[in-house]
């Protein structure tokens, strides 16, 4: 707990049995109150490993719901148990839990609403083994998204994210995709609603056991990202109406930082 805020880590898991324990043991439990793991009908023993580790809340989907569908379950459970700050941490050990404090404190102190662990700030991505084609695609898509959404983020594609309860309660997440583009739809909604986003440099690791989508799925994701960015801009211009933004009121507020 930080500043009276309950901190909950959610772990959307799929075939993560080989890396789950390493990830879990690096979580700083001096500030994290509870952990939720949602096993998206893995083919390995992820569910059993999670139970053996003593993770407080272990949920197993009876059928695979996809990466976005998994997160929907994660966030619903986090809100149910009273989380004030929710950190999404992949259990594949690609993102280190050791910088979790840096992700959480700005939200718990009321400085930001959302924090992203960026692989692109600094040289963490390429040093950590990110394939060059993914790095180039990341840079291009991020440039395009910043242009369309009026943001100045270093990266939209990290899987290391933290949210305030207010954000999760405000976003119509059920309207988002159950696939990988869920992450980008969520950021589009966050930008549209005017929530403040902060970033912190995050080293990353690419290795055999770490989850990573193949080239075909990467292409599908990339086109999905372009769609999210274009629909965001069209919705802002009033040219089109899109479900993921309909329930949100556009806001461009800035936090009052005079008290800090």
Measure the CA–CA gap between 110 and 124, rounded to whole angstroms.
27
Domains of the chain: 7-246 (3.90.550.10)
Burial letters 82-108, b for 16+ CB under 10 A, else e: ebbbbbbbbbbbbbbbebbbebbbbbb
User: pLDDT class for 258, splitting at 50, 70, 90?
Assistant: very low
Percentage of the chain surpassing pLDDT 70? 90
Tens of pLDDT, residues 165-186: 999 999 999 999 999 999 999 9
CB 164 within 8 A of CB 113: yes
Beta pairing, strands 114-118 & 161-164: antiparallel
Q: Identify which of 15, 40, 71, 68 has the alpha carbon closest to the alpha carbon of residue 211.
A: 15
CB 52 within 8 A of CB 24: no
Q: Report pLDDT for 250.
A: 79
Q: Identify which of 235, 89, 113 has the alpha carbon closest to the alpha carbon of residue 175.
A: 235
């Amino acid at each position: 707990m930080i500043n009276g805020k309950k901190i909950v880590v959610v772990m959307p898991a799929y075939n993560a049995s080989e890396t789950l324990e390493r990830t879990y043991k690096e979580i700083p439990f001096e500030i994290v109150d509870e952990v939720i793991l949602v096993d998206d009908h893995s083919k390995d023993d992820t569910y059993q490993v999670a139970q053996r580790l003593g993770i407080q809340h272990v949920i197993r989907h009876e059928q695979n719901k996809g990466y976005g569908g998994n997160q929907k379950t994660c966030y619903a459970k986090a809100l149910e148990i009273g989380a004030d700050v929710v950190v999404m941490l992949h259990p594949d050990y690609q993102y280190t839990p050791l910088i979790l404090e840096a992700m959480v404190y700005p939200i718990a102190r009321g400085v930001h609403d959302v924090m992203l662990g960026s692989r692109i700030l600094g040289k963490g991505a390429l040093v950590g083994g990110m394939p060059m084609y993914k790095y180039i695609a990341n840079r291009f898509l991020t440039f395009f998204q910043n242009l369309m959404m009026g943001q100045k983020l270093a990266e939209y594609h990290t899987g290391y994210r933290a949210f305030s309860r207010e954000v999760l309660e405000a976003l119509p997440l059920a309207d988002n995709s159950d696939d990988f583009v869920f992450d980008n739809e969520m950021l589009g909604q966050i930008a549209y609603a005017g929530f403040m986003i902060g970033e912190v440099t995050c080293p990353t690791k690419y290795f055999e056991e770490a989850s990573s989508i193949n080239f075909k799925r990467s292409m599908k994701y990339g086109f999905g990202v372009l769609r999210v960015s274009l629909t965001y801009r069209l919705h802002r211009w009033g040219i089109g109406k899109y479900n993921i933004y309909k329930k949100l009121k556009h806001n461009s507020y800035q936090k009052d930082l005079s008290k800090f």
